[in-house]
Amino acid sequence: MKLRFAPATFSVTFCCAYVAAFAMNWPLFLYYPLHGDWSFGPQIVKGIGPAMAWYGLMVDAGAVAAVAAFCVPDRTVKAIFRNYLWLFPCVAIGACVLLLRHFFA
């Protein structure tokens, strides 16, 4: 069997996985820039400075999307969502705004 990368599947899955990981606070790892430390999982290690989750969220979404892109062909995704591919990033952006609303309260 030949593996083929499915770009539409990747992008759709990436948007969903990114928002899910962000909403559930599931970064694969955290980075602590003060001393360049790392920790696995979302649990913040105290005493080593501020933590950054973005890299972990990106790896989460990228990994899930990459697996999906090699397992689910584009024609499957397009058969269901062909008219609405553009909706996924729009909803993902809207969800991020919603999740960040506490900064503006």
The whole-angstrom separation of Cα 6 and Cα 69 is 5
- Tell me the C-alpha distance between 44 and 66, whole Å: 27
CB of 26 to another protein, least distance (A): 14
CB of 43 to another protein, least distance (A): 18
Q: Does 12 bind another protein (CB under 8 A)?
A: yes
Out of 28, 30, 57, 68, which residue is the one contacting another protein (CB under 8 A)?
57
| Residue from the set 49, 63, 71, 76 that interacts with another protein by CB under 8 A | 49
- Of the candidates 65, 4, 60, the residue with the CA atom closest to the CA atom of residue 30: 60
| DSSP character at residue 3 | -
Residue of 41, 50, 63, 76 interacting with another protein (CB under 8 A)? 50
Query: Which residue's structure tokens are 């269901």?
Result: 80
Among 46, 47, 80, 86, binds another protein (CB under 8 A): 86
